């Protein structure tokens, strides 16, 4: 999130798109209700009339997978009605930048497409002799971002949006009027999103579309504004911060690639921008290497850079299951993860597990993944995989930090001891590390990275988590004094830091900031002395934008950072150059054009060349779609990630065998693959069985009554479920056709107290062009009555 | 206690918190055609959220209502109970003393809100106790504690009525002309409703029906007899009933 949960209370209009916030993030409604008590409007855009829609002021239906059409329509509405925040976009975004004259957009494709990928040369800024981007502050030049964007989205008129999304035109216009009213200074709009936005072959572009809309309306950096990603698990923010993904090291440092970054010099040269805060990247990486390899990381050996594993190719979730299917992977740690239920095309992934020599499953209960070898319909004697089950402690049975969606890192204390032989994840990782070290001490192909790894967290049976936290926070190598924060990091090996963005969260052993619990008594809800937010305890990112170039707050009721009596007043930690190292105040003119310090140009990108599939979000159909693309000739995202198995496993556009759109979701009563909640009788009582939601219209046509058993099938498989026939699902009018949507919660599997079939048997192995996140949210299926 | 259904998101944290605090066993349920489950109050299901789909198309509303014992001022269950098992506690809540209860089921039949339920195996009636053991120790009921949105509030009656009336007025001003206060005067659990009670499948109720007064009158001789019996029992050093009588006081002393 750019902002945080409590900050929702400061919004004038809140729009949840692709987020079922009441059901999946119930606490959010406390703060949304606070805003509404002061007159705020709450808009929900969702294919289903969810519990969130039920409590909204305005609900707009949308066909799964058409968010860019919807958001693009809002962007066009902003241009048509001139609702953009002109002073904001002129100063804080690249609206005035001129783009290469060879840039083009034609028939759904951007310039530079070679049939496989884009050559992005034509997407670059026009620059002067010193390499500085050319700008037209009047925004009139036809090649400036503002004009290009206006032309790009002119095709997304309300009529077209309605035809593509199925949202009635009047509804769309009601949303447009309500949300785009926040373009005026003094009004702030907040966009909430979650997996309904990301789990598409163009999920990254969906997110971009929300950011563009918020920038045009001047809603980024203000209290009550922002683009707020609501994370689906309580510490998934923390695990992402720590490099959970295969291509990141902790703190969002890219993993080195074997081909591009053979040496430290090559990595730093290619990955360090010349300007913006990321120009400090060498300090972050070298301090990380010092934290990991201590004395073995010296200037002479490039701080042990050659110990870091390097990769090439795609090893994300779908890719490694494809590799597993092909017999290329010998062993797997499924650590708090249950792909046999949660992974797409689950039957393929369950079969892939059979190819493993060994599987280590670490969880609270025996998951479907751990028991894949005895799943219904298979003969265990034919499966050779050796499975180890390690019982893990639950979150309240261990202590440690937890980072929430708003980037607040809060220490959670141990409430009770784990049952039986269950151990904390830290204990398991620590003991595993020790055992691997012992094994490598006998020799190995390349033992140094293992043997020289610092792995010293106390003498006790349970590793000392405070020592781990101190390593993450960072310290000066000479005296092991904890660093105040990441501003003290150096690139010469004198500092060590396990995760630069967390630096400062544990800088005082006696009173670590992440353990603070002091509530704010007045202010805008920042609660600066409650826990610690990365980076630098900053609660609202890009907060220079909360004030105009002269430093006057756009919204005087909830000012974040503002210039008064020749100094900056702060309701938060400034996110820009506001003080010299000597402590003198830097007047607002200096920072007025540099409010986005993480970008080399230090302004926000309405036009961005970073993504693989285009500088502007463009509507494409999901890979499986019942209709042709009504906006361009390009049916689907040309860069969408596909794998060999996806080729045979996909239904054709408009397939009569699979006429309905399937979309998956979660309910309040169960969590993720259900392994914790389906083992809780009280929760099973509330939601005992797998069910599917379908419209009364479709049910009538298929002779299905509420509570019947139905079969749902896709090109990937078939499942059974109870039919939940409800007016909350409505057919959508797409072009001249009526399209039906089937809603499938994905919580059930074949283990636990409450068993049921898994929705992910139906979902395909296709992924986002940039992140490869699976397209769970829009696919084709069929349904019939069983009894 | 105040239930503001306009802030309820139907998450059912209250249902689980109730079972957790009171250590009530889970029911074996099956999908019933909507999210609602269990489908009715049961001996060990004392609170539940109803999910009511009202209207269709653009006018569709999905109305959630947390239901539980209303802890009526003049409680029909107390009036009709022949053995004084259903009674008013010192804190004013309505409770059933299972030590006295014979499982006759009159409370179940006559409760206007269909709340008490008899466990037929042990012949005892059960229902929400407003977490007597918590409120006697200045803790809110478990459901209130668990509610994430502030839909449930617990406090002094007048304070709750003031909050509720202000909320109803605000709702009426902001697009909910039929918003109303429900239960004031006759129940100690009051509701802020966003629309008419029927949308939440809450019965229209103004106080005990005359039949319950008749019952109370008719049962008086039985009740007196029972009272005499219990005095004799105490004198006879049979302490079971008197122990049950002082249960609330004991709970009140749990720190």
A16 touches chain B (CB under 8 A): no
Nearest to B34 among A53, A682, A724 (CB): A724
Q: Quick one: pLDDT at residue B29? A: 97
What mean pLDDT do residues A552-570 have?
A: 97
Q: Quick one: pLDDT at residue A234? A: 85
Residue of B43, B57, B62, B142 to mutate, interface with A, max A Cβ within 10 Å: B62
A55 touches chain B (CB under 8 A): yes
Nearest C-alpha in A relative to B56:
A727
Q: State the Cα–Cα distance between residues A586 and A389, nearest whole angstrom.
A: 58
B236 pLDDT exceeds 70?
Answer: no
Averaged pLDDT score across all residues of chain A:
97
B175 pLDDT exceeds 80?
Answer: yes
A74 pLDDT exceeds 80?
Answer: yes
B13 touches chain A (CB under 8 A): yes
B216 pLDDT exceeds 90?
Answer: no
Nearest CA distance, A729 vs chain B (angstrom): 9
Quickly state the pLDDT bin for B223 (edges 50, 70, 90).
Answer: low
B233 pLDDT exceeds 90?
Answer: no
Express each pLDDT in A440-487 by its tens digit: 999 999 999 999 999 999 988 899 999 999 999 999 999 999 999 999
A194 pLDDT exceeds 70?
Answer: yes
Residue of B5, B28, B31 to mutate, interface with A, max A Cβ within 10 Å: B31
CB < 8 Å to B30, chain A: 688-689
Quickly state the pLDDT bin for B209 (edges 50, 70, 90).
Answer: confident
* DSSP helix/strand/coil, A199: coil
Q: Please name every residue paired with A720 in a beta bridge, in sequence order, or none if there are none.
A: A711
Express each pLDDT in A313-336 by its tens digit: 999 999 999 999 999 999 999 999
- Whether residue B62 and residue A54 make contact (CB cut-off 8 A), yes or no, is yes
A65 pLDDT exceeds 50?
Answer: yes
Q: What percent of chain A has pLDDT over 70?
A: 100
Quickly state the pLDDT bin for B228 (edges 50, 70, 90).
Answer: low
Q: Quick one: pLDDT at residue B217? A: 73
**Strands of A331-335's sheet in order across:** A331-335, A358-363, A386-391
What mean pLDDT do residues A105-109 have?
A: 97
Express each pLDDT in A698-747 by its tens digit: 999 999 999 999 999 999 999 999 999 999 999 999 999 999 999 999 99
Q: Quick one: pLDDT at residue A436? A: 97
Model ipTM? 0.94
Q: Note whether A483 and A503 are within 8 A (CB).
A: yes
Quickly state the pLDDT bin for B221 (edges 50, 70, 90).
Answer: low
A310 pLDDT exceeds 60?
Answer: yes
Nearest C-alpha in B relative to A690:
B31
B148 touches chain A (CB under 8 A): yes
The residue whose two tokens read 């081909």 is: A259
- Whether residue A22 and residue B150 make contact (CB cut-off 8 A), yes or no, is no
Cα torsion through A571, A575, A579, A582, rounded to 10:
110
What mean pLDDT do residues A662-677 have?
A: 97
A277 pLDDT exceeds 90?
Answer: yes
DSSP conformation letters of A318-350: HHHHHHHHTT---EEEEES--HHHHSSSHHHHH
CB contacts under 8 A, A 19-38 vs B, are 22-23, 26-27, 29-30, 33, 37
B63 touches chain A (CB under 8 A): yes
- Report which DSSP code applies to B199: G
Quickly state the pLDDT bin for B206 (edges 50, 70, 90).
Answer: confident
Three-state DSSP string of B91-158 = CCCEEECCCCCCCCCHHHHHCCCCCCEEECCCCEEECCCCCHHHHCCCCCCHHHHHCCCCCEECCCHH
Express each pLDDT in A424-433 by its tens digit: 999 999 999 9
B231 pLDDT exceeds 60?
Answer: no
Averaged pLDDT score across all residues of chain B:
88
- Whether residue B61 and residue A724 make contact (CB cut-off 8 A), yes or no, is no
Express each pLDDT in A608-620 by its tens digit: 999 999 999 999 9
Q: How many CB pairs under 8 A join A and B?
A: 102
What mean pLDDT do residues A393-403 have?
A: 96
- Whether residue B9 and residue A725 make contact (CB cut-off 8 A), yes or no, is no
Nearest C-alpha in A relative to B174:
A39
A479 touches chain B (CB under 8 A): no
Task: Say how many CA atoms lie within 13 Å of A593 toward its Cβ.
Answer: 10
Quickly state the pLDDT bin for A199 (edges 50, 70, 90).
Answer: very high
A435 pLDDT exceeds 60?
Answer: yes
Residue of B14, B21, B149 to mutate, interface with A, max A Cβ within 10 Å: B149
Q: Quick one: pLDDT at residue B210? A: 73
Q: State the Cα–Cα distance between residues A780 and A623, nearest whole angstrom.
A: 9
- Whether residue A707 and residue B32 make contact (CB cut-off 8 A), yes or no, is yes
Q: Quick one: pLDDT at residue B222? A: 66
Q: Quick one: pLDDT at residue B75? A: 96
What mean pLDDT do residues A539-562 have?
A: 98
What mean pLDDT do residues B1-7 have?
A: 98
- Measured CA to CA in angstroms, residue B22 lies from A225, B14, B17, B86 at distances of 42, 12, 8, 18
Quickly state the pLDDT bin for A150 (edges 50, 70, 90).
Answer: very high
Q: What percent of chain A has pLDDT over 90?
A: 98
Q: Quick one: pLDDT at residue B246? A: 41
Computed from CA positions of residues A739, A745, A746, A752, in that sequence, does the dihedral angle turn out positive or negative? negative
B30 touches chain A (CB under 8 A): yes
Three-state DSSP string of A370-409 = CCHHHCCCCCHHHCCCEEEEEEECCHHHCCEEEECCCCEE
| CA proximity to A281, closest of A292, A300, A268, A290 | A268
Residue of B17, B18, B26 to mutate, interface with A, max A Cβ within 10 Å: B26
Q: Quick one: pLDDT at residue A646? A: 74
Q: Quick one: pLDDT at residue A597? A: 96
Whether omega for the bond prior to residue A321 falls within 30 degrees of 0, making it cis, is: no
- Measured CA to CA in angstroms, residue B162 lies from A33, A255, B42, B155 at distances of 19, 59, 33, 11
A456 touches chain B (CB under 8 A): no
Nearest CA distance, B41 vs chain A (angstrom): 13
B211 pLDDT exceeds 60?
Answer: yes
- Whether residue A726 and residue B150 make contact (CB cut-off 8 A), yes or no, is no
Q: Quick one: pLDDT at residue B226? A: 58
Q: What percent of chain B has pLDDT over 70?
A: 86
Q: Quick one: pLDDT at residue B225? A: 60
Q: Quick one: pLDDT at residue A773? A: 97
């Amino acid at each position: 999130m750019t902002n945080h949960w409590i900050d929702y209370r400061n919004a004038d209009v809140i729009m949840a798109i692709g987020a079922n916030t009441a059901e999946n993030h119930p606490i959010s409604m406390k703060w949304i209700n606070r805003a509404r008590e002061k007159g705020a409007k709450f808009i929900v855009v969702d294919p289903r009339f969810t519990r969130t829609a039920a409590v909204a002021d305005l609900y707009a239906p949308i066909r799964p997978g058409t968010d860019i059409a919807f958001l693009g329509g809002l962007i066009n509405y902003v241009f048509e009605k001139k609702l953009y925040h002109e002073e904001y976009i002129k100063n804080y975004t690249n609206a005035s930048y001129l783009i290469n004259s060879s840039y083009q957009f034609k028939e759904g494709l951007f310039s530079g497409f070679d049939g496989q990928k884009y050559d992005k040369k034509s997407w670059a800024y026009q620059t002067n002799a010193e390499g500085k981007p050319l700008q037209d502050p009047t925004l009139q030049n036809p090649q400036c971002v503002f004009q290009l964007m206006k032309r790009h989205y002119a095709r997304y008129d309300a009529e077209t949006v309605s035809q593509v999304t199925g949202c009635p035109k009047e509804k769309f216009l009601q949303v447009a009027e309500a949300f785009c009213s926040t373009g005026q200074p003094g009004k702030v709009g907040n966009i909430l999103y979650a997996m309904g936005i990301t789990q598409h072959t163009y999920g990254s572009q969906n997110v971009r579309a929300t950011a563009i809309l918020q920038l045009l309306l001047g809603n980024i950096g203000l209290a009550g504004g922002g683009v707020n990603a609501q994370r689906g698990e309580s510490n998934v923010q923390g695990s992402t911060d720590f490099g959970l993904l295969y291509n990141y090291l902790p703190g969002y440092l890219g993993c080195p690639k074997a081909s591009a970054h053979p040496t430290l010099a090559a990595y730093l040269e290619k990955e360090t921008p010349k300007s913006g805060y990321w120009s400090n990247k060498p300090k972050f990486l070298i301090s990380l290497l010092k934290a990991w390899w201590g004395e073995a990381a010296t200037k002479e050996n490039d701080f042990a850079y050659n110990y870091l594993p390097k990769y090439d190719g795609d090893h994300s979730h779908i890719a490694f299951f494809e590799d597993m299917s092909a017999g290329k992977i010998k062993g797997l740690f499924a650590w708090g993860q249950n792909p046999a239920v949660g992974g797409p095309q689950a039957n393929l992934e369950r079969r892939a597990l059979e190819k493993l020599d060994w599987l280590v499953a670490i969880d609270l209960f025996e998951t479907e993944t751990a028991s894949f070898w005895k799943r219904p319909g298979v003969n265990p004697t034919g499966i050779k995989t050796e499975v180890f089950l390690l019982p893990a402690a639950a979150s309240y049975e261990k202590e440690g930090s937890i980072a929430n969606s708003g980037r607040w890192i809060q220490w959670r204390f141990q409430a009770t001891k784990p049952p039986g032989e269950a151990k904390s994840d830290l204990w398991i990782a620590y003991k595993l590390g020790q055992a691997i070290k012992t094994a490598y001490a006998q020799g190995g192909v390349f033992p140094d990275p293992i043997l020289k790894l610092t792995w010293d967290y106390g003498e006790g049976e349970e590793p000392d988590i405070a020592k781990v936290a101190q390593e993450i926070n960072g310290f000066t190598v000479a005296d092991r004094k904890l660093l105040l924060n990441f501003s003290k990091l150096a690139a010469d090996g004198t500092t060590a830091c396990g995760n630069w963005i967390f630096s400062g969260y544990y800088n005082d052993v006696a009173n670590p900031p992440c353990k603070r619990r002091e509530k704010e008594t007045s202010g805008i809800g920042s609660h600066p002395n409650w826990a610690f937010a990365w980076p630098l305890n900053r609660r609202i990112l890009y907060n220079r934008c909360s004030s105009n170039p002269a430093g006057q707050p756009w919204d005087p009721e909830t000012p974040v950072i503002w210039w008064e009596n020749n100094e900056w007043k702060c309701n938060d930690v400034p996110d820009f150059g506001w003080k010299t190292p000597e402590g003198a105040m830097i007047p607002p003119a200096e920072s007025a054009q540099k409010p986005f310090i993480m970008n080399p140009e230090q302004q926000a990108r309405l036009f961005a060349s970073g993504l693989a599939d285009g500088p502007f979000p463009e509507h494409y159909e999901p890979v499986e779609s019942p209709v042709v693309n009504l906006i361009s000739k390009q049916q689907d995202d040309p860069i969408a990630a596909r794998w060999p198995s996806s080729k045979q496993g996909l239904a054709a556009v408009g397939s009569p065998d699979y006429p309905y759109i399937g979309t998956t979701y979660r309910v309040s009563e169960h969590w993720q693959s259900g392994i914790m909640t389906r083992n809780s009788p009280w929760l099973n009582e509330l939601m005992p069985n797998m069910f599917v939601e379908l419209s009364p219209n479709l049910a009538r046509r298929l002779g299905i009554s509420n509570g019947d058993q139905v079969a749902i099938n896709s090109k990937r498989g078939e499942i059974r479920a109870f039919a939940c026939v409800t007016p909350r699902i409505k057919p959508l009018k797409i072009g001249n056709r009526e399209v039906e949507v089937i809603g499938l919660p994905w919580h059930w599997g074949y283990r636990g107290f409450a068993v049921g079939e898994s929705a992910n048997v139906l979902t395909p192995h296709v992924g986002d062009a940039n992140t490869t996140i699976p397209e769970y949210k829009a696919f084709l299926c069929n349904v019939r009555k069983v009894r | 206690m105040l239930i503001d259904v306009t802030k309820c998101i139907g998450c059912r944290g209250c249902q689980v918190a109730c079972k957790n605090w009171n250590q009530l066993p889970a029911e074996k349920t099956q999908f019933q055609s909507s999210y609602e489950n269990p489908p009715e109050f049961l001996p060990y299901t004392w609170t539940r959220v109803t999910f009511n789909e009202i209207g269709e198309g653009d006018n569709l509303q999905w109305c959630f209502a947390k239901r539980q014992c209303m802890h009526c001022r003049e409680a029909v269950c107390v009036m009709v109970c022949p053995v004084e098992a259903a009674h008013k506690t010192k804190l004013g809540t309505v409770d059933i003393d299972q030590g006295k209860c014979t499982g006759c089921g009159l409370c179940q039949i006559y409760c206007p809100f269909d709340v008490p339920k008899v466990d037929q195996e042990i012949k005892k009636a059960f229902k929400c106790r407003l977490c007597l053991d918590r409120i006697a120790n200045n803790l809110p009921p478990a459901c209130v504690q668990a509610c994430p949105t502030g839909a449930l509030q617990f406090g002094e009656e007048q304070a709750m009525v003031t909050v509720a009336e202000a909320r109803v007025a605000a709702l009426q001003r902001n697009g909910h002309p039929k918003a109303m206060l429900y239960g004031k005067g006759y129940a100690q659990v009051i509701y802020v409703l966003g629309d008419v009670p029927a949308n939440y499948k809450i019965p229209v109720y103004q106080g005990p029906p005359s039949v319950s007064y008749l019952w109370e009158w008719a049962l008086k001789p039985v009740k007196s007899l029972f009272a005499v019996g219990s005095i004799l029992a105490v004198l006879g050093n049979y302490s079971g009933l008197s122990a049950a009588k002082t249960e609330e006081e004991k709970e009140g002393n749990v720190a």
